[in-house]
Amino acid sequence: MVNVTNARGRHDLLDLKPFTEYEFQVSSKLHLHKGGWSDWSESLKTQTPEEEPVGTLDVWYIKQHVDYNRQHISLFWKNLSISEARGKILHYRVTLWEMAGRKTTLQNLTRHTSWTWVIPRTGYWAAAVSAANSKGSSLPTSINITDLCGAALLAPRQVSANPEGTDSILVSWQPPEKAGSAVREYVVEWRQLLLEGDARPRPNWLRLPLHSVSAVLSENIKPYVCYEIHVHALSAGQGGCSSILGNSKHKAPLRGPHISDVTEDKGSVWISWDHFPAQEQVGCILHYRIYWKEQDSHSQAQLCEIPYRVSQNSHPINSLKPRVTYVLWMTALTAAGESPPGSERGFFLQGKANWSVFVAPSICTAVIIVGIFSMRHFRQKVCVLLSALRPQWCRKEIPDPANSTWAKKYPIVEEQAQLLVERLQTPWSCPEEPEPLAISEVSQQGTAILGQPHRPTCSESGQGHRSSEQDTAALSACSPPPPGTLLAEKRQAVDLYKVLGIRGQGPMLGSPASPLPVLPVDYLPTQEGYLSSNIDDPPPGRGPPPEPAEDLAPLHVSFSVFSNSLHPLPFSCGEKLTLAHLKMGCDASRALSGET
pLDDT per position as a tens digit, 419-467: 877 776 655 444 445 556 565 555 444 433 334 444 444 334 334 443 3
What is the average pLDDT across 481-487?
A: 46
Q: How does pLDDT run across 111-132, given as a tens digit for each residue?
A: 999 999 998 888 889 999 999 9
Amino acid at position 361, single letter: P
Higher-confidence residue of 576 and 402: namely: 402
pLDDT, position 426: 54
Q: Tell me the CA distances in angstroms from 281 to 201, 304, 339, one per residue in order.
A: 18, 20, 9
- Which run of H or E residues covers position 145? strand 141-145
Name the fold adopted by 152-246.
Answer: Immunoglobulin-like (2.60.40)
Q: pLDDT band at 560, cuts 50/70/90?
A: very low
Q: pLDDT band at 494, cuts 50/70/90?
A: very low
Higher-confidence residue of 6 and 151: namely: 151
Q: Is the pLDDT of residue 249 over 60?
A: yes
CATH fold match for the domains 152-246 and 258-348: yes
Instruction: Pick the range with the lowest mean pLDDT from 37-46, 85-94, 525-534.
Output: 525-534
Name the fold adopted by 59-145.
Answer: Immunoglobulin-like (2.60.40)
What is the average pLDDT across 558-575?
A: 44
Q: Cα–Cα–Cα angle for 80, 82, 83, nearest 5°?
A: 100
Instruction: Pick the range with the lowest mean pLDDT from 129-143, 160-174, 331-345, 558-572.
Output: 558-572
Higher-confidence residue of 297 and 95: namely: 95
Does the reported pTM lie above 0.95? no
CA distance 577 to 382: 60
The CATH class for the domain spanning 258-348 reads: mainly beta
Q: Is the pLDDT of residue 68 over 90?
A: no
What is the average pLDDT across 207-222?
A: 93
Which of 1-10, 192-201, 442-451, 524-533 shows the highest mean pLDDT? 1-10
pLDDT, position 395: 59
Where exactly are the structural domains of the chain?
59-145, 152-246, 258-348, 409-596
DSSP string of 193-224, one letter each residue: PPPTTSPPPPPEEEEEETT--EEEE-TT--TT
Q: Cα–Cα–Cα angle for 525, 526, 529, nearest 5°?
A: 80
CA distance 548 to 440: 12
